[in-house]
Structure 1
Amino acid sequence: MSCHTVSILLSIASLATIAFCQVEYPLVIAHRGASGYIPEHTLAAYAIAILQGSDYVEPDLVMTKDGHLIARHDNVLDLTTDIAERAEFADRKTTKSVDGKESEGWFSEDFTLEEIKTLRAIERIPETRPANTRFDRMFEVPTLEEIVSLVQAMESVVNRTIGVYPETKHPSHFASLDLQMEEPLFAVLTENGYSGPDAPVFIQSFEVANLQKLAGMTEIPLVQLLDSSGQPFDQVLSNGTLTYDEMATADGLKAIAEYASGVGPEKYHFIMPRADDDTLSADTKTTFVDDAHAAGLVVHPFTFRAENEFLPLNFRNGTDETAIGDMIGEMELFLEAGIDGVFVDHPDIGKQGVEDFVNSRLL
């Protein structure tokens, strides 16, 4: 091979590298692990998500009676565990008001970690994901420490860095029980080497005050979640008037940027509403992503799910609500809008969608 030929090949390689570097690679965030394939918030769900290419895994965190952080979608345990079948815990079923909503069931804050460890996970939405029920009662409820240990062990398996994206669930509720979440969360992350703005961690919350408290404790990036209606519950408790819609305005996003590095909006309400006929197109795109970027915030909307039940009409596959539709097609619209990451229940499909999007920009 001549020196001239080598020079040409190196030049082509250099141009390809430059082109690739100019294309942002949106993050794939495994929503509760690979929750489309296996019961959510289990070590198995997180491991599968990592093997399917996720950049981050997301544990929702609630507190035990003795102050441990465990991964559950909610503090109502009968939604995702077999506790309703456990005769020894029958007398602890109760009714509580959590974030202003009355719920009946068994609550994480009424159980020690030792008791939680006797429970087994079950599929949260068996009607939508009946195949996942074959794994019911196979897996424990993991602690945050166990999730971090798994992630760090898996990094050597996949030979890349895996991030952790915890959400503090009901922080004001737990604080009212003297089970503040910020200190134990900060301790677990610090003890495992996560610190500073470049740590592969995002901490997210629907509330404001606990993110502001964390902002005074750590430089780890924080993400303000934005629900499709209402107010952060800490605002309700303080008789504040701030709503999620107000937080999503250009001025509201600038205020968020004073304590957070990103926002996690409900994707249809804030970025691209569905049309009246339940279809989706870029015609309804708002200025939200541009406004967030102007404020210096990354945008990680939730949640992309592959089943027809969750998809707009023009991305469904047939009429079976449980059938897999065109999630990649839906994702493309939002990626075109400039989002920086996707929360997905099906990490392999999410990864393929992001790769297809990036590759299309390199052509």
Structure 2
Amino acid sequence: MKILLCSLTLGFAVSVLSGCATSAGQNESDAAVSPPQLQPGTYSTPDGDRVWVLHPNHVYEHGTGLSGDQPQVTRGLWQFVPGTGQVVLVDDGNRHSELSLTRGNTLMLSGRGDAVALEYDDDTDPIEQDRPMDVCFMTMADAPLAYDSRIRRHLPVVMEEAYPALEAFYRETGKQPPESAAVRVQGHWVMDDAPDGGDDTLHLKVASVEGAAAGLASRCPGTALPGTYWSATRLGEMTVAPEQGQRELELQLNREGKASGFAGCNRFNGDYNRRGDHLALGPLASTRMMCPARSEIEAEYFKALDETRRFAIEGDRLYLMDDEGHTLVTFKAREIN
């Protein structure tokens, strides 16, 4: 007699009967259980004291004490780790993993005491609570933008409420587009039409302007994406530095939508497509030289370029990222001798 054992993977609601009533001759693939899937939406504790809004673009808001006298709202990027059920919240480089996905796609809050099941709503409306936000602001005709280094994204700015004060602050700094000014505002996010006519996207709505944002200027975009020689300094979590006599990993983008560079052994070229903060590279063609000592790092570099979906520039640094905000490659702008 052949005995079949049934196990339930995290995050998939399946009855014992349907999961175990599998005939001995059934293919293993038919009995496979789908992995957990984290859905964007609003998750809150039963008492409503803590709220997480996981936006579809992998940006999150976390509100605490929203009904009290001292509400607080933080923001960052959320990343789901397949196979573990962990939800990692990245807040200005700090990583938190107090949320986890369990059986039935229920998001749990762990930490002190017993885990708490969070209530789910598929609504992803932003939290309408003004909070201090340090941003890099740039006015451009009818398309003002604010770069938020906590989420490494540019957000369109709603031209209402305290927007005239924000524009006046920018003029007083003496900046000119495409330069941006570091400023602290009180405001919150809203959903509105994308400036390029695409789907609704997050916008910044400013309630008041508090003044210059101390320490932020060095993280404001300071270099243009096209027309710059970019030299890789990190590949994922690994520092990349060429040995003596070797060339750096390079990337150059021109204003006609063409990409080129050096991957450690071979040169490459191809197309790129940019829309706002979105960036896709390829298809890329490369030369066919053999360099066994650098083949592994070259393969990782090409893989990172292929997976790139977003970019951000802070000062003279360029970050290529995937959809979830994982940094794939970090570059530094170099002068061309």
- Give the TM-score range, shorter chain: under 0.3
Point out the structure with the larger helix share: 1
Pick 1 or 2: higher relative contact order, CA cutoff 8 A, min separation 6: 1
Task: Calculate the TM-score normalised by the size of structure 1.
Answer: 0.24
> Which protein shows a greater Rg?
2
Task: Calculate the TM-score normalised by the size of structure 2.
Answer: 0.25
